[in-house]
Structure 1
């Protein structure tokens, strides 16, 4: 398979290493010095079967429009654009292409998400447990909270009747019991750590995922590229896992 990389930073380099290990070819590379948005047409992708995009939020939506307009399948790990998911779905349908997006491509984090989802029916009945989400990343991370933390919070919010909104800001007084607190920390070179905490008067449960290398994300992204190639529609990592694990309807 031929893969075009959009974003050649540390994540792009990790994706390239894993892709080559799995027998794929890098057909084109784009970054700040060679912007994808300067490309005139799909020929700039060098015949790519799939684009893998780990770039920056400021240009993500415009780049996604290009992929759809060119009818090229894509894997997008860039965050900060998902408020426009309905519009992106229309673009993908018009372009008859496939796009798989995720705020985090770690397969281990996907397992954590499924574990939390399994807890929700019981947790919703055990109102003595409060819940919160915390994430920690390196000092160079642009968005806060992380897209992954917000996605985890949204999943919790959907399953807990007593929580009605996400609160990502620092609290300088008593927090609204209906708010699901999402906190962030930026320190050193932390690749990514996400924690879901369930706390009661008598005990505490913590579900933690810690990324040990960028390879964890790169492997998930390359596997997603292998899966989405030739498909039509807007997908998430859950769609891929449901099919591979045989847990879909």
Structure 2
């Protein structure tokens, strides 16, 4: 499979290693100094592009991929206000877009566990739920896309929670997400249910970027053979 990399920072480099180990070819590498490469024949030859950049650049990158008819796999977060437009291009312009707030297989198992626990806790009025996420200081968005996905899984399944708020609740119907930025932490997410007598905690801690990169390459393999708007639920078939 021919892969184009959009964003060649630490994640892009880790993705490259895993892609090569799995027998794929990197035909194009695009960063802020080579944005004109979207129109090159090398980029257009790609079976799929994997995009990890910045929130303010992501949407334009997607549009350039669509214009070149190259399927996109993206792990950039912080741009979801334009998600409806991306889905519209997939539906009406025969484009392929695979998005995940987190490509780690372990995190996606954690997402499913989080939803199941929320269903169980829905009737337990004595417990309040809160969240904390920790990431490296280079991460620009807060809370993380992973934390938002976890929050959405809770809000969908707990009747008394209607919205999430950064750092602290404004009302009892809010879910507080505390976001911490420190050191080189790849990602730690904790969901806590607390009552006056005990607490229940589920927790995921990434050891490195390797798990995210592997998931992104697996997503690229899947996107190269499928079409439309895709997610980790499609890939993992939970």
Q: Which residue of 1 aligns with 2:130?
A: 132
Q: Which residue of 1 aligns with 2:60?
A: 62
Q: Which runs of 5+ in 2 are unaligned?
A: none
Q: Which runs of 5+ in 1 are unaligned?
A: none
Q: Which residue of 2 aligns with 1:185?
A: 180
Superposed displacement of residue 80, structure 1: 1.4
Q: Which residue of 1 aligns with 2:100?
A: 102
On the 8 A contact 2:166/2:177 being kept in 1, the answer is yes
On the 8 A contact 1:70/1:95 being kept in 2, the answer is no
1:162 aligns with 2:157: no
| Aligned length in residues | 238
1:153 aligns with 2:151: yes
Q: Which residue of 2 aligns with 1:118?
A: 116
Q: Which residue of 2 aligns with 1:233?
A: 228
Report the TM-score, using the length of structure 1 for normalisation. 0.91
On the 8 A contact 1:98/1:230 being kept in 2, the answer is no
Q: Deviations over 1:57-109 (max 9, x none)?
A: 11101111122232211100011111211110111233313111011111100
Structure 1 segments, 4+ long, off by >4 Å, are: none
Higher mean Cα deviation, 38-47 or 150-159?
Answer: 38-47
1:21 aligns with 2:30: no
Higher mean Cα deviation, 1-10 or 119-128?
Answer: 119-128
On the 8 A contact 2:188/2:205 being kept in 1, the answer is yes
On the 8 A contact 1:65/1:91 being kept in 2, the answer is no
Superposed displacement of residue 170, structure 1: 4.7
Higher mean Cα deviation, 57-66 or 9-18?
Answer: 57-66
Higher mean Cα deviation, 197-206 or 10-19?
Answer: 197-206
Partner SS for 2:175: strand
Superposed displacement of residue 43, structure 1: 2.3
Q: Which aligned pairs between 1:166-245 and structure 2 lie closer than 5 A?
A: 166-170=164-168, 175-242=170-237
Q: Deviations over 1:46-67 (max 9, x none)?
A: 5110000001111101111122
On the 8 A contact 2:51/2:74 being kept in 1, the answer is yes
Distance 1:98 1:207 in 2: 34
